Amino acid sequence: MLGLLRHTRDRFGPIRFLATTVALAILLSGCQSTDTDGLSTSAAPPEVSGPAAGAIAGDMVSRLAEQIGQGKATVALKQDGSPFGQALEAALKGWGYAVVTDQKTDSGGVVPLAYVIVPYDGQVLARLSTSRVELGRAYIVTTSGATPASALSLMRRG
């Protein structure tokens, strides 16, 4: 009888093991890393026309200049060759920024910039990302250009 009481099975063993495994997975998921600058790859659909791309790029760069200072930095633009990418490069240069696209540069004074343009529900969502700030806005695209359809979304890092 005494042997039965001393040798009881731990009926919570599998649950304890599962809980430990899940907790470890959650802790390790926080250790994930991205590439060195942490920015996504730039992407814009080719359907966004030249006038619309120019209007969106002009508006977004003017808002970016409010955050990082007008023409005070060299911008490393991750470009995909779309009309928006070309319009964004032209708008950056128009605001006085030096723009590098494919060259390796020393990281001092260079602001990496990526963009994403996503069609959504009859509008276009535009996002510019740097290592310190992210800007987003929805636009209504017409044949003659684009007009903002939402307030500017601003997220600061660090």
Summarize pLDDT for 141-150 with one digit per residue, the tens.
988 899 999 9
Predicted local distance difference test score (pLDDT) of residue 9: 59
Is the pLDDT at 60 greater than 60? The verdict is yes
Predicted local distance difference test score (pLDDT) of residue 45: 65
Does residue 135 belong to any structural domain of this protein? yes
Long-range CB pairs of 99-106 (<8 Å, 24+ gap) are 99/74, 99/75, 100/74, 100/75, 100/76, 101/76, 101/77, 105/74, 105/76
Is the pLDDT at 92 greater than 50? The verdict is yes
Count of the separate structural domains present in the chain: 1
Choose from 31-35, 69-73, 127-131 the range with maximum mean pLDDT: 127-131
Of residues 143 and 58, more confidently modeled: 58
Predicted local distance difference test score (pLDDT) of residue 43: 65
Does residue 94 belong to any structural domain of this protein? yes
Rounded to 10 degrees, what is the CA torsion of 21, 22, 26, 27? -30
Predicted local distance difference test score (pLDDT) of residue 34: 42
Does residue 68 belong to any structural domain of this protein? yes
Domain boundaries, position 101: 50-156
Average pLDDT, the chain: 79
